[in-house]
Structure 1
Amino acid sequence: MKKVVLTLLLAAGLSAPGWAQTTFPNNGVADERPNLYAFTNATIVVDPQTTLTNATLLIRQGVIEAVGTNVTIPAGTVVKDLKGKRIYPALIDLDSDYGMPEPPQGAAGGRGRGMGGPPQYESNKKGPYYWNQAVQPEVSASLLFKANSTKADELRKLGFGTVLAHPHDGIARGSGVLVTLADERENAIVLREAVSSHYSFSKGTSTQAYPNSPMGSVALLRQAFYDADWYKKGGNKEQTNLSLEALNKLNGLPAFFEAPDRLGILRADKIGDEFGVQFIIKGGGDEYQRIDEVKGTNASLIIPVSFPQAFDVEDAWDADNVSLAEMKHWEMAPANAGVVAGAGINFALTTAGLRNKTEFWANLRKAIEYGLSEQKALEALTTAPAKLIKADGQIGTLQKGKVANFIITSDNLFSANNAILENWIQGKQYIVTAQPTADLRGTYNLTIGNRSNLKLNITGKSADKLEYQVVASDTIKITPKVSVANDLISMQVQLDRRNPGTTRLTGYRDGSTLKGDGDLPNGQRITWTAVRAGENVAKADSVRPVRKPEIGKVIYPFIGFGNPEKPKAEVMLIKNATVWTNETDGIMQNADVLVQNGKIAQVGKNLTAPAGAKVIDGTGKHLTSGIIDEHSHIALYSINEGGQTSSAEVRMSDVVNSEDANIYRQLAGGVTASQLLHGSANSIGGQSALVKLKWGASPEEMLIKGADGFIKFALGENVKQANYPNPNQLTRFPQTRMGVEQVYFDHFYRAREYDNAWKKYNSLPAKEKAAAVPPRRDIELDALAEILNKKRFITCHSYVQSEINMLLKVADSLGFRVNTFTHILEGYKVADKMAKHGVGGSSFADWWAYKMEVKDAIPYNAALMHRQGIVVSINSDDAEMARRLNQEAAKTVEYGALSEEEAWKMVTLNPAKLLHLDSRMGSIKSGKDADLVLWNNNPLSIYARPEKTIIEGTVYFDLQDEDRKREDLSKERARLIQKMLTAKAGGTQTQRPTFRRQRMFHCEDIEGVMAEGEEHQEAEQK
């Protein structure tokens, strides 16, 4: 193991001896110079709050010995006069892969399929490690670290002196190592090993099938944390697992989580909250879009300064392929760091994500131009990162006893005219910008041969960035071509414009005079001199207020039709409407509904509006409760975790995408709530998310609080992989319908034993319980045990009557109840058995013949089940159908001769019953949630259109606002397109627009899971 041999002294604040200590043998003449340097007359920025003028920095053996304006310089010190220059602490990057090995070439990383072969379900890592390759906390960056002089030099030129490095591979990535960027052997530059722990949602180079979704990544990490806790509490007596042992050793270290975007930050923090860990989260640079929610995590952030390029929108058709979200993010991304700082969030900056590291300073100055203060920028590159990794006793400031990591600059570090001249790391000098030996700026009397009436003006904002001008008379000013190397100077100038030709001069500096010889255009040899006549040093620029660029506003959500402010609940009275109550009052004519505090306060006639209430005239209109979609897949980043037979441990709530345009589209169709279901890739799917379609709210705000838990099961072709493209490569069980039955029996037997083990453990007397090893927490079996204990309820994807019968038999024999059969297109064949079991049905109105197992579907199915006393709802399973569910309900009138009221209940009250939400939703009754839709016509009519969609007293869709929103959207796009055209004309690099169609998920979508953080395209909202 590579270990620190000198810097442990630094961490302890001890003085280093006068010779270099090392455990390595010296096979030659020892070089034991004291390495004692004094940097005098400098402006020294000790830390972001402390700046000293005409000060001295004294370092010895790579450690700061003194800093101040009255420092005694010991004999034998090498003194460097830095008059006119500045010293800053060297910068720190906390998200680096410096010194880490490259990931193996050709790794599958996400598909779980190597070299076109069958899926890999087991880990191929040999040894007593965790079962999944994506969890590798045993990886130690200090063991892998190998210095790289080329990459170190690249970072040194930017002013960095220290980086926190770790392998960016996997979900649990192991420990990070803190290293300097000195060109020394690894033993000397490793400041601290195992300084941090690292996590992400990306499985990296793992070739295992599981996980294949973001929600699977969350579940895998949660299970690993629970396993580590069990191992610590006694599980290590039952087995040896080096991964779990390593995970426990990482406890207490600063924990870093790499999230892809602002919603990923919220997801990562939720995991941290569950396990009492406050992650330091590396974001994606879009935190400004959800700044309140991000601030609410209390997490410190690592912020990139990588900004998207402008799009080339000169071609109008190309411009149509760029979403509003992409355009606005291009404009607003540079303001992100300033917004984060303004919110009071602690953060550090990183070079990670840059297309080229050389973009760092230009982008950082752009961030400052857009609102980030210079002080905050310096903090985010020095003191903040040092404190986050608890290394502020070693690095981050220029104080006595700290590592001598500092940079020397020609100007203010953040000035566009600044040059980083030198980067000193552990007391070793690295030249970044070659400096002239003298400041040549001034006015000179120039004599070239027999011409003595010339002037030479040398100007510039700094001694290393000079401009030259030869003045032949008041009206003739000539710009020569000049090169300077140390004290040598070479100049080419065209003195006589009437007789063109170049005079070539070569010479040197002699004190304050420049002189030498040269050749005239005709070849005549001459001598020349330039005698300094006066100073010509540029005065410091007067301080001018920096005008922030004007940019658009954040909208919620950050896509087309987003609102500049989140909608708020109102007190409202809807008068004189036809009210479909779904209660004993039936359909009330000319009735009023009062909404207060997000609830329905009163239903009746001639109600009086409270003071300040908004009165809505419902004359000639129909008011209903909001449509509830029992089976939906919108607003999710992915829907199937198909890497295993059972994925009961995954939660759809972990991947709710509040930025999905389908939320708004479905509000426009009167939908107010949805069950977001796992897909049907496996027999036992994941846990549902019950949401209200609150346009602009965060994922957490969309979730229905206090709702019962549901889970998706599945039967049929999808589960047994009948439609798999290459059946010869199938390895996952089950592959037959009878195998599906066995899956249920096996998992529920295990869940019952697991549940009994916990009940037995929890019933132990306190003393015995304290001494006993608890059962291993298994979040997959937790979900199944909740079913047995009637705390979680099943929605089962189903088609064929034989399989419906099978699951009913399994449930009856094991003592649990199936809550809902969804799809259930052969439900009419077994409706009597369903009624006896007490299971509901959520069906399509008239889908049939789209695959073999639905060939017996009929449009009378819903009505026939209803007549057997089954609670029946009509669902969508389709983003487009969901906004027309009112028409789907109407089909039951046509095909089943149901009354209009019963038909309407199939998309309102009945799904509320199936989701155990009918006490709160599904009808218009005093005390229920004010989830209402005001229609311009009978809601079952094909001409009906919602005019207002209201959730908990808040209007989330208003038809009257549509024209204004479309106009605003068009204007905003036009403004941004013009801004991009101007940027391109000004020389800004652009990128070609790429067409990306929004993915509309269905149950069977098991491949091509959308990359997390990919922007959803609002194709219909441009």
Structure 2
Amino acid sequence: MLAALLATGSFARAQETFPVNGIADPREGCFAFTHATIVKDAQTTVQNATLVIRDGKIVDAGTGVVVPKDAVVLDCKGKYIYPSLVDIYSSYGLSDAKRSGSAWNAAPQFLSNTKGAYGWNQAIRSEVNAVDLFAADDGKARPLREAGFGTVLSQQPDGIARGTATLVTLANSKENKVILRERAAAVYSFDKGTSTQNYPSSLMGSIALLRQTYLDAQWYKSQPAKEGVNLSLQAWNANQQLPQVFEAADKWDVLRADKIGDEFGVQYIIKASGNEYQRIAEMAATKAAFILPLNFPGAIDMEDPGDARFVSLAEMKHWEMAPAEPAAFEKANIPFCLTAVDLKDVKQFMANVRKAITYGLSEQKALEALTKTPATLLKAYDKVGSLEAGKLANFLITSGPLFSEKTILYQNWVQGNRYVIKADGWNDIRGIYTVTLTPGNSYSVEVRGTPSAPLLSVLQKDTLPGRIDVNDKLVSMSLPLAKNSKNSIRLSGIIGDNGWTGTGADTSGNLIRWNAVFVKTAPEKADSVKPTEVAALGPLLYPFNGYGWEKLPKQEDLLIKNATVWTSEKDGKLENTDVLIRNGKIAQIGKSLSAGNARVIDGTGKHLSAGIIDEHSHIAISRGVNESSQSVTSEVRIADVLNPDDVNIYRQLSGGVTASHLLHGSANAIGGQSQLIKLRWGQNAEDLKVANWDPFIKFALGENVKQSNWGERNTVRFPQTRMGVEQIYTDAFTRARDYERQGAGKRRDLELDALVEILHQKRFITCHSYVQSEINMLMHVADSFHFRVNTFTHILEGYKVADKMKAHGAGAGTFADWWAYKMEVQDAIPYNAAIMNGVGVVTAINSDDAEMARRLNQEAAKTIKYGGLSEEEALKLVTINPARLLHVDNRMGSIKVGKDADVVLWSDNPLSIYAKAEKTIVDGIVEFDRDNDLQLRKRIATERNRLTQQLLAEKKKGTPTQKAGFVADEMYHCEDLQGGHQTAIGD
């Protein structure tokens, strides 16, 4: 019975659906690898052990393993066996997605052109399964195997929702043999990829689309009949059961993705970018596992000082510190894998792993990150990731420890199939031999070097360097008999189990026979090459540029004494007055105040004002200020795309700004939701945000909205006239009102949610505007739907309708003397702000420009000339008035007991062009200090010189370098649709 069962089992294993063209060969491959050092996993190494595999799987591994009688035995004495590596982020076997459809100058595309019952947006490709597109490709598998990989998770990197990835081996077999798991993970990003649709056109649009798709999928699951068939949403819901992988473009994208995951109960595995070490505490707080690339930045050629001046200190420091990222993750106890995906040449992979080890990554953690961790995250540890019975026979045979620079990778076995990586050196012939010539003498010969590159010496009184070439079992040698002699004995033969034998010619050309007998192992010689030592790395800075903090400043109790205090309150301007700050608040205002334990700052001869509030700003925004694709995009949020690294935060602190209202641009009638931030330099995005403030949203009127200045291809999107703009508003709020009236089970719509908030005075409007007729129109629409326009911004014709604005309850944020830069500002006058202020409209001077924001005190001062405002009234235009417009005047905008300690100590009258902000204090923290700024400039010079010398040394020793070049940051204005205005990042 047992024999019959065994025969039945063997027959069952031999069955397959593919026909055999020829003679069937059902033999099972059984191999035993003996006398090896077997590294079963990162924690378990077994000496003098045996690995047995059969039919592509591991039978046993360890000591005391019985070698089957039918096994082919390979003696692996002196060799190491490791699990083959696993890459969790690859596109192996998949062709690049191709952009289809319209030409570059085609009209806008609003809906998907994908044929079939799919979703409305081409960037949501959840229905795509990599397994359907996968084609095994041995030409592309070979370099991955040569790098040590045996298994990869393969996906098509295209779109925001990229569908599913498939887990495959790198065996040279048919697709059905190498696919381990058809749908192994779902993959996402913020990049819409090859989609030809306009939406989304910005990072915040991508985030909104992702959030809306989560909501739509939940609704579809509960109300399928209302949608009909939507294959994209069906696939989305099915994919939620899989591991969820998210590709992040930088460290802030990691936090953006994690926030979405938290909102919808998803824990992503994050594919990192390489700069996450700069915010390692925030990375740990995500509780995510990470996939770390090893495409460390190349050295920069700093030889030409003219080119070198364009290289920012941040770029130089990233070159220095990026290789330490894996070590930083290990130190922070954050689980991670390593991937080769971003390398231009996968041959560089193992060298970069060694580099990461040099920078502090442990070898144990490196191996774990390439075996057990990725396999476990993919729920495939039962198949790959270690050398245990029942798992696939995926393993490496090496000459030594895997990550040693001298180690040779001989073979990579995948699913029990051998792939020879390097044949030379498999037999370690190093040692001392006696070579006997017939006829002739005997010579003592030493073979040293490495197994794959042996060197030969004849041991006499003077050791004479010879030559040896080995090709598998064939050997040829040249033995010199005298120093500087041109004649040598030339030998060739075969390496056998019991010695070497062959024929040759002596120095006279006579035919001889020879044999060589192994005598002993040659003594190990000390390695003359010193291990690579990494110089101490420079300090990590927050933010990661020259003006960043080494340690974030702490809140202090401060007493500013004997200053001229501009309260921006009814108390007016107070001479020789003290202001006490405790716990981030203004505690006392008066004369001769007691300091207690507060630090005293001498304000004698100086002026203290409330911090400047910029009511209209576009700093600190990532990858697009406009979601310009549709006329109504109230679902997008500036809060999702804050960039705390923007050097303009620091620059504006130097100009006395303490808070900025960050607005969506003016590309559409109803833009995105805005965000008020405090300029807390060095904090992360969440900590920049002002908590518990009334939320705002950006509307727009005029040329930008109707696309009159967008070019000939943009004549499709409604509206194309100012009349149409009114209809957009009426339609949007009619839809919002109808949406609110729908009962239970309605589809939640992020766009309409924001508009409903406006209807209920829970969200407030800041509207880009110029022309009086449109200003009147929007107030009329608001009155019709019983809400109020909070602020008209720009409003350069506000002086014409100030009385109507006051009656409506609208405020104004305007410029001092910008005009004539486009058609709809032809009637602008510099007296505009003073006239509106005089009528009783709450008026502020704002920037809409990162450079102007550094001089808002001077912009406010212009209203003294143009309109005759008093100094105190002028200063209120950039302090308490914007606070009123933003509904935060109860806590900022003036110097009053109980308010936030956001103050500026000026060297002179704050309205003077000679005034400098000496100290800018936010929440009782000195965020900018002019004396400290001078020290920072010295630190920048020192750091730049240190790193420049390191980079020059790299070039001198032959390291490939990349040309120094200009790297720009984005500086946005209202009208910027894509890249914005380019400015140098600076140090």
TM bucket normalised to smaller:
over 0.9
SS in 2 for 1:920: coil
User: In the alignment, which residue of structure 2 is the partner of 1:73?
Assistant: 67
Judge conservation of contact 2:250–2:273 (CA < 8 Å) in 1: yes
User: Residues 912-991 of structure 1 correspond to what in structure 2 (within 5 A)?
Assistant: 912-991=883-962
Give the number of aligned pairs.
978
SS in 1 for 2:604: coil
- Equivalent of 2:86, from 67, 92, 105? 92
Judge conservation of contact 1:19–1:33 (CA < 8 Å) in 2: no
Aligned: 1:650 with 2:636: yes
CA distance in 1, matches of 2:517, 2:415: 43
Deviation at 1:408, TM superposition (A): 1.4
CA distance in 2, matches of 1:707, 1:795: 15
**Structure 2: gaps of 5 or more residues:** 1-8
Q: Deviations over 1:369-417 (max 9, x none)?
A: 0000011111111111111111122221212222222111111111111
Aligned: 1:180 with 2:151: no
- Equivalent of 2:340, from 325, 332, 351? 351
Deviation larger for 76-85 or 961-970: 76-85
Aligned: 1:305 with 2:291: no
Q: Flag the 1:140–1:511 CA change in 2: closer, same or farther, 3 A.
A: closer
Q: Deviations over 1:271-299 (max 9, x none)?
A: 11111111111010111101111111111
Structure 2 counterpart of 1:51, one-letter code: T
CA distance in 1, matches of 2:538, 2:121: 45
CA distance in 1, matches of 2:808, 2:714: 38
Aligned: 1:871 with 2:838: no
Aligned: 1:41 with 2:27: no
Judge conservation of contact 2:251–2:276 (CA < 8 Å) in 1: yes
Q: Deviations over 1:807-851 (max 9, x none)?
A: 111111111110100000000000000000000000000111111
Q: Flag the 1:908–1:502 CA change in 2: closer, same or farther, 3 A.
A: farther
Aligned: 1:229 with 2:215: no
User: In the alignment, which residue of structure 2 is the partner of 1:507?
Assistant: 493
Aligned: 1:578 with 2:564: yes
User: In the alignment, which residue of structure 1 is the partner of 2:5?
Assistant: none
SS in 1 for 2:860: helix
Structure 1 counterpart of 2:897, one-letter code: S
Structure 2 counterpart of 1:573, one-letter code: L
User: In the alignment, which residue of structure 2 is the partner of 1:488?
Assistant: 474
Deviation at 1:596, TM superposition (A): 1.6
The percentage of counterpart residues that share the same residue type is: 56
- Equivalent of 2:804, from 821, 825, 833? 833
CA distance in 2, matches of 1:75, 1:533: 33
CA distance in 1, matches of 2:508, 2:303: 53
Q: Deviations over 1:51-85 (max 9, x none)?
A: 11122222222222222212223331222222211
SS in 1 for 2:14: coil
Judge conservation of contact 1:435–1:464 (CA < 8 Å) in 2: yes
CA distance in 2, matches of 1:951, 1:706: 17
Judge conservation of contact 1:949–1:958 (CA < 8 Å) in 2: yes
- Equivalent of 2:736, from 728, 748, 751? 751
Judge conservation of contact 1:64–1:401 (CA < 8 Å) in 2: yes
Structure 2 counterpart of 1:570, one-letter code: E
CA distance in 1, matches of 2:275, 2:116: 41
CA distance in 1, matches of 2:317, 2:570: 50
User: Residues 7-18 of structure 1 correspond to what in structure 2 (within 5 A)?
Assistant: none
User: In the alignment, which residue of structure 2 is the partner of 1:341?
Assistant: 330
User: In the alignment, which residue of structure 2 is the partner of 1:362?
Assistant: 351
User: In the alignment, which residue of structure 1 is the partner of 2:4?
Assistant: none
CA distance in 1, matches of 2:331, 2:833: 56
CA distance in 1, matches of 2:900, 2:426: 78
Q: Deviations over 1:314-354 (max 9, x none)?
A: 01111111111110000101000000111111111111111
Q: Flag the 1:729–1:917 CA change in 2: closer, same or farther, 3 A.
A: closer
SS in 1 for 2:261: helix
Structure 1 counterpart of 2:126, one-letter code: P
User: In the alignment, which residue of structure 1 is the partner of 2:985?
Assistant: 1018
CA distance in 2, matches of 1:936, 1:301: 49
Q: Deviations over 1:170-206 (max 9, x none)?
A: 0000111111111111111111111211100101111
Q: Deviations over 1:718-746 (max 9, x none)?
A: 11111123x25521111111111111111
- Equivalent of 1:556, from 536, 542, 549? 542
User: In the alignment, which residue of structure 2 is the partner of 1:464?
Assistant: 452
Judge conservation of contact 1:921–1:931 (CA < 8 Å) in 2: yes
CA distance in 1, matches of 2:31, 2:803: 92
Structure 2 counterpart of 1:1002, one-letter code: H
Judge conservation of contact 1:114–1:207 (CA < 8 Å) in 2: no
User: In the alignment, which residue of structure 1 is the partner of 2:716?
Assistant: 731
Aligned: 1:428 with 2:413: no
Q: Flag the 1:389–1:543 CA change in 2: closer, same or farther, 3 A.
A: farther
Judge conservation of contact 1:198–1:256 (CA < 8 Å) in 2: yes
Q: Flag the 1:728–1:694 CA change in 2: closer, same or farther, 3 A.
A: closer
CA distance in 2, matches of 1:137, 1:932: 51
Aligned: 1:156 with 2:141: no
SS in 2 for 1:639: coil
Q: Flag the 1:297–1:728 CA change in 2: closer, same or farther, 3 A.
A: closer
Judge conservation of contact 1:88–1:406 (CA < 8 Å) in 2: yes
Deviation at 1:865, TM superposition (A): 0.2
User: In the alignment, which residue of structure 1 is the partner of 2:599?
Assistant: 614
SS in 2 for 1:127: coil
Q: Deviations over 1:640-694 (max 9, x none)?
A: 1111111111111111111111111100000011011111111111111111111
Deviation at 1:584, TM superposition (A): 2.2
SS in 1 for 2:382: coil
Structure 2 counterpart of 1:891, one-letter code: K
Judge conservation of contact 1:446–1:454 (CA < 8 Å) in 2: yes
CA distance in 2, matches of 1:201, 1:80: 50
User: In the alignment, which residue of structure 2 is the partner of 1:717?
Assistant: 703
Structure 2 counterpart of 1:624, one-letter code: S
User: Residues 557-956 of structure 1 correspond to what in structure 2 (within 5 A)?
Assistant: 557-611=543-597, 613-637=598-622, 638-725=624-711, 727=712, 729-757=714-742, 760-761=743-744, 774-956=745-927
Deviation at 1:152, TM superposition (A): 1.4
SS in 2 for 1:1003: coil
SS in 1 for 2:851: helix
CA distance in 2, matches of 1:20, 1:959: 80
Judge conservation of contact 1:172–1:200 (CA < 8 Å) in 2: yes
Q: Deviations over 1:883-909 (max 9, x none)?
A: 000000101111111111111111011
Judge conservation of contact 1:370–1:549 (CA < 8 Å) in 2: no
Aligned: 1:58 with 2:48: no
User: In the alignment, which residue of structure 2 is the partner of 1:414?
Assistant: 403
CA distance in 1, matches of 2:44, 2:70: 29
TM-score scaled by structure 2? Answer: 0.96
Judge conservation of contact 1:447–1:453 (CA < 8 Å) in 2: yes
Deviation larger for 232-241 or 914-923: 232-241
Q: Flag the 1:508–1:58 CA change in 2: closer, same or farther, 3 A.
A: closer
Deviation at 1:120, TM superposition (A): 1.6
Judge conservation of contact 2:106–2:713 (CA < 8 Å) in 1: no
Aligned: 1:82 with 2:67: no
Judge conservation of contact 2:669–2:728 (CA < 8 Å) in 1: yes
Judge conservation of contact 2:464–2:480 (CA < 8 Å) in 1: no
Structure 1 counterpart of 2:545, one-letter code: I
Judge conservation of contact 1:16–1:61 (CA < 8 Å) in 2: no
Q: Flag the 1:1009–1:252 CA change in 2: closer, same or farther, 3 A.
A: farther
Q: Deviations over 1:739-779 (max 9, x none)?
A: 1111111111111111222xx43xxxxxxxxxxxx111111
**Structure 1: gaps of 5 or more residues:** 1-14, 762-773
Structure 1 counterpart of 2:377, one-letter code: L
CA distance in 1, matches of 2:238, 2:526: 54
Q: Deviations over 1:772-792 (max 9, x none)?
A: xx1111111111111111111
